[in-house]
Structure 1
């Protein structure tokens, strides 16, 4: 295995700029889906927005963990069932990502997340005995999935959730549909999970802001073309109790919020589902293990912000990354293979 090399990197500033839409018509829509507000800007016919929302609805109807009418809900309730269409594809790809990350991403963590109140809003610190009991049912390797028939079988006491990859998958599915319909420029914001199609109408790159996980303001910008940008961080969903902060990203080995020394992880790549799942799992891994996985891969780049405010980026972003003006003095470290 190659040793990770980290170097200080000096960066200039890149301003956030708008799009020049003179050449094409910008169709825009905001709507609520997958428990978040989504904002789509598609340069093309207005009717395409309904097509995009239909894709989102199809995935949510089948793969929602809380909708009693969904295929996934029935599987968790009955211990077995069938996933069809896009939900089946989502299941297959999510399981592959669980294996790739050696369980840092585990779709069977759902009961743990629920015990902490992150699916219900009834936040609490569970009893350690409760966590221990629930952890005995966390192991993606025990999920039986037949890719031919779509049949899923779970051991007693296990429940699964595809939310860790769902929005990324939805973004790439919408993008694929829009490309088929001739769209060459679009910005799809699925609640902070961003999927781009092509470039801006004027040919320039999309500039996607990444927030300071402590101050919740733009800290840096990455410039992308036809890629996804997904960020996971402890600042997104959390609660405080007895002076302690607890966030929603759970470590499957402990049943507690991940404590890896990272405050946020952003993944940039061609595949939205991969970016979505890796943003969570690399947050769980911590900087060193995350950098090792990146060094073994060729399908994503990453930005890491540590608990102490340090910024690390992988070398493929060196020419596509800049700090915002307010953070121009922040040291940035470059991770090389």
Structure 2
């Protein structure tokens, strides 16, 4: 009998002065009702969008205004980038095979192209039809045949996307469809940071599923403490990272999966095989100034596996750091964050 499981979880649990999950409403101070609220008290907002539970937290006189704008921005980007919403720009592009794109889509297309090149095709937004065949886009899970995957993989190649920058027009080859799901949440969290800064928020964070992005430090000047969840136990964590002004984004096969005949099939698809990646890694956490980059790399390094991920980090160590957990329960941390990451587990330091 087929068993289907889907976990909607916060991969990163925020250890702050107050809670940073769906319970933050217990400590929220609404400035619309309490205009003299202390600047050190957080304003929080819970949102469900992009198939993810999100929590926004901000400090400062304009925190409530910032949260209103951030929530509106999340809803706008969700409507713009959804592959399932018939009114979205991406849905129309996939259906028509061509179209004029917005500034946001142009940015995401450019970032996707860079990631595709840097990862040698591991990050590929044209994997969408393969994801759909597995049912991860609809939750109608199934195991595609080898023949079906072979046929679908013929059209997985982001380098074939044509883009006329002058006309802002994208043209997709026949049977090619795209999905920015691999970087959309990271891009969204970065946009929220821009809103926070514009509204002069002094400290803040956003948690979008497995994505956490931080603005500044906590109000007392100390670093935020982010617990990186264990891929084996949603009530446990691998360790705690101290960070300021960073995106901390985790990917793992435990986030979304189904089981059939005793085998687990997760949603992180290897574009080289069309099957869920079996790289020897359970989870990958990326720490970077850039939320979009961190989002894309968390998935890409998961597919690469430990050795290739470490080599990739050595070549790009100026842009990100990483935390890897292997199937053998070995923990690897890049040296750039080794001094600010603590764990009860034995930690292997990856050096340049």
Whether the TM-score (by the shorter chain) exceeds 0.5 is yes
Task: Report the Cα offset of residue 96 of structure 1.
Answer: 1.4
CA contact (8 A) 2:210 2:251 kept: no
Alignment of 1:276-315 (within 5 A): 276-297=295-316, 298-315=318-335
Question: Which residue, 256, 270, 273 being the options, matches 1:237?
Answer: 256
Task: Report the Cα offset of residue 180 of structure 1.
Answer: 1.9
CA contact (8 A) 1:234 1:249 kept: yes
Cα distance in structure 2, aligned partners of 1:231 and 1:106: 18
Moved more, 294-303 or 214-223: 214-223
Deviations 1:246-290 (A, max 9, x none): 100000000000010000000000000000000000000011111
Deviations 1:50-81 (A, max 9, x none): 10012212222221111111111111001111
**Does 2:82 align with 1:64?**
yes
Cα distance in structure 1, aligned partners of 2:269 and 2:161: 19
**Structure 2: gaps (5+ residues):** 1-13, 20-36
CA contact (8 A) 1:92 1:147 kept: no
Counterpart of 1:37? 53
Cα distance in structure 1, aligned partners of 2:273 and 2:342: 36
Secondary structure of 1:163's aligned partner: coil
CA contact (8 A) 2:66 2:201 kept: no
Counterpart of 1:8? none
Task: Report the Cα offset of residue 87 of structure 1.
Answer: 2.3
Cα distance in structure 2, aligned partners of 1:150 and 1:304: 38
Highest relative contact order (Cα 8 Å, sep 6+), 1 or 2?
1
Task: Report the Cα offset of residue 219 of structure 1.
Answer: 2.1
- The number of residues matched between the two structures is 318
CA contact (8 A) 2:215 2:244 kept: yes
CA contact (8 A) 2:250 2:285 kept: yes
Counterpart of 2:290? 271
Deviations 1:143-186 (A, max 9, x none): 11233432111100110000100000000011012112211200
Task: Report the Cα offset of residue 94 of structure 1.
Answer: 1.6
- TM-score of the pair, normalised by structure 2: 0.87
Q: CA RMSD in A?
A: 1.6
**Structure 1: gaps (5+ residues):** 1-14
Secondary structure of 2:183's aligned partner: helix
CA contact (8 A) 1:19 1:202 kept: no
After superposition, the Cα gap between the structure-2 partners of 1:30 and 1:293, relative to the gap in structure 1 and judged at 3 Å, is same
**Does 2:265 align with 1:249?**
no
Counterpart of 2:5? none
Moved more, 104-113 or 47-56: 47-56
Cα distance in structure 2, aligned partners of 1:284 and 1:188: 26
CA contact (8 A) 1:166 1:273 kept: yes
Counterpart of 1:145? 163
Cα distance in structure 1, aligned partners of 2:291 and 2:269: 21
Cα distance in structure 2, aligned partners of 1:202 and 1:149: 49
Counterpart of 1:319? 339
Task: Report the Cα offset of residue 95 of structure 1.
Answer: 1.8
